Amino acid sequence: MPPSSLLSISGPLFTSAELDTAAVPEKCFIRSLLSQVKTPRFKFIAPGLEVPHDKEAFAGRQQFTSIYHEEDSIPGVLLFAASNQLVDLNSEISSIFSIAHRGTSIDNSDPIPTGLYSEPVRRAAYDTEEAGFRLVLPFALRPGIWRDEEGARMSDGRPVPQDSFTELFQHGRFHPFGGEWRPQRMERLFERWTELVESGVWTVGEYGVEGGVEKFGDADKGAWRDYFIAPSW
């Protein structure tokens, strides 16, 4: 980025009071991350995904933190939103995010903002992982693609399920060291995004990473190797 376009920001991304306003639960991984990471000096961290510099907008986009959840549950928190991009709360998305809301229906909610969410967790469940993520796209992957050798893939080499909105960059059926119910870790996603910038697959301009969220659709257009995380086992 041109030096003149870098934002003159210092300090953590969020204060405790700002996270309270967004109803992010206390004593969980995602709150620790958001309150300790330094504020990025750019606007876009990935194609179409914005760094939450506007704290009021961040709180207003949280669809799940305000819904009742048990004390042992951590709802999904939207970290980096795709501007003005919504998606219907279909059965795939609902089944993932309802994990933290047992006994509370979220099926009748309005369309939700798309972007990078923390993985919802019920701590009492088997084999949980608070450091996971879920990239919710405003479009389906592999729509109408039936051949397994075509379209986006997951870490185990298997194709992303047809018409999926949430499985890009995920493990697939086979997980490292067991952990068959765990999502991919957020740390590995950020490492992959860094590689995409440093290798030139993603370009950087005045405001950060260039392009819209539709850039992730390149995974279905012969570039699946750029949009999967190599297995670590």
* pLDDT at 174 (0 to 100): 62
Tens digit of each residue's pLDDT (9 = 90 or more) over 47-63: 999 999 999 999 999 99
Rounded to an integer, the average pLDDT of 91-106 is: 84
Rounded to an integer, the average pLDDT of 158-168 is: 94
* pLDDT at 135 (0 to 100): 98
* pLDDT at 124 (0 to 100): 81
Rounded to an integer, the average pLDDT of 83-91 is: 91
Q: For the chain, give the mean pLDDT.
A: 90
For a pLDDT cut of 90, what percent of the chain falls above it? 68
For a pLDDT cut of 70, what percent of the chain falls above it? 93
Q: Which two tokens stand for residue 90?
A: 């279909």
pLDDT band (50, 70, 90) for residue 156: confident
Q: For the chain, which residues make up each domain, given as ranges?
A: 3-219
* pLDDT at 9 (0 to 100): 86
Give start and end residues of each alpha helix (H) in the chain. 16-21, 29-36, 55-60, 91-97, 186-198
pLDDT of 178 strictly over 60: no
Task: Give the separation between CA 137 and CA 73, rounded to whole angstroms.
Answer: 24
pLDDT of 109 strictly over 80: no
* pLDDT at 147 (0 to 100): 73
Residue among 170, 204, 165, 169 at smallest CA distance from 45 = 204
Enumerate residues 6+ apart whose C-beta is below 8 A from 129.
119, 121, 179, 182, 183, 185
pLDDT of 148 strictly over 90: no
* pLDDT at 200 (0 to 100): 97
